[in-house]
């Protein structure tokens, strides 16, 4: 797979011709502007004890392919994946249901609802690499991932990795590799559907 031709997209949000979530990761990486001096010092690092198989090597490969740093790739794929996730109507529906259930739990003093709302320990990836590592993400997303963790009932570090999965499967080529990562994407959306049913019950 070779880098795509420049399609004229700017990563300045005010110049987007289309929403970020509708672009592919390779287009974004091919048009990634160089960091200004000192900008890299503002990165936030998230550590992982495990990750979906195939995700970590993809960061290294894409960095080499587009002559970027691994941090460049992970920051963009995290930002891109977050945009994809938050643009999906399934998350919007779950977020509204979560807020309604949250309010009801407080009004009724319902322990069962609080247990559901606070449970973020039951999620697991379909296939796991036990390699410990960390990746750089845009610092402004840290608090947003905290909120997504509560809504989705998934640990914050897992949400970060799942956003990267959502981004990675938009890249061109390597169908077999993408199908492998897509297993975790599909499992996640099944989880969201089940959590929606649980919070609605």
- The residues near 38 (Cβ < 8 Å, ≥ 6 apart) are none
User: Does 110 reside within a domain?
Assistant: yes
Q: Is residue 37 part of a domain?
A: no
pLDDT in tens, 118-163: 776 688 999 898 888 888 998 899 999 999 998 999 999 999 999 9
**Number of other CB atoms surrounding residue 165 within 10 Å:** 25
Task: Tell me how far apart the alpha carbons of residues 88 and 166 are, in angstroms, rounded to a whole number.
Answer: 11
Higher pLDDT pick, 165 / 133: 165
| Phi-psi group of 8: left, alpha or beta (phi > 0 → left; psi -120 to 50 → alpha; rest → beta) | left
Q: Is residue 142 part of a domain?
A: yes
How many domains does the chain contain in total? 1
| pLDDT, tens digit, 9 for 90 and up, residues 54-89 | 999 999 999 999 999 999 999 999 999 999 999 999
Question: Would you say residue 5 has pLDDT above 60?
Answer: no
Q: How far apart are CA 83 and CA 145, in angstroms?
A: 12
Three-state SS annotation for 99-161? HHHHHHHHHHCCHHHHHHHHCCCCCCCCCEECCCEEEEECHHHHHHHHHHHHHHCCCHHHHHH
Instruction: Check residue 70 and give its pLDDT.
Output: 92
Q: How far apart are CA 158 and CA 177, in angstroms?
A: 20
Task: Return the SS3 of 52.
Answer: strand
Full-model pTM:
0.85
In terms of residue numbers, what domain contains 183? 42-200
pLDDT class of 37 with cuts at 50, 70, 90: very low
């Amino acid at each position: 797979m070779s880098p795509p031709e420049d399609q004229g997209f700017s990563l300045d949000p005010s110049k987007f011709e289309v929403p970020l979530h509708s672009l592919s990761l390779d287009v974004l990486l091919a048009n990634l502007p160089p960091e200004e001096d000192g900008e890299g010092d503002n990165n936030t690092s998230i550590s992982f004890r495990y990750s979906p198989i195939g995700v970590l090597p993809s960061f290294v490969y894409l960095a080499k392919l587009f002559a970027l740093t691994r941090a460049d790739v992970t920051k963009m794929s995290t930002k891109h994946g977050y945009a994809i996730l938050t643009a999906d109507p399934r998350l919007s529906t779950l977020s509204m249901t979560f807020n309604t259930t949250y309010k009801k739990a407080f009004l009724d003093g319902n322990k069962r609802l609080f247990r559901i709302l606070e449970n973020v320990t039951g999620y697991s990836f379909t296939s796991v690499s036990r390699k410990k590592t960390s990746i750089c993400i845009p610092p402004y997303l840290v608090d947003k991932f905290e909120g997504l963790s509560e809504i989705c009932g998934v640990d914050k570090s897992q949400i970060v990795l799942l956003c990267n999965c959502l981004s990675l499967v938009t890249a061109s080529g390597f169908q077999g590799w993408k199908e492998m990562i897509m297993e975790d994407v599909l499992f996640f959306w099944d989880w969201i559907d089940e959590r929606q049913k649980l919070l609605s019950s």
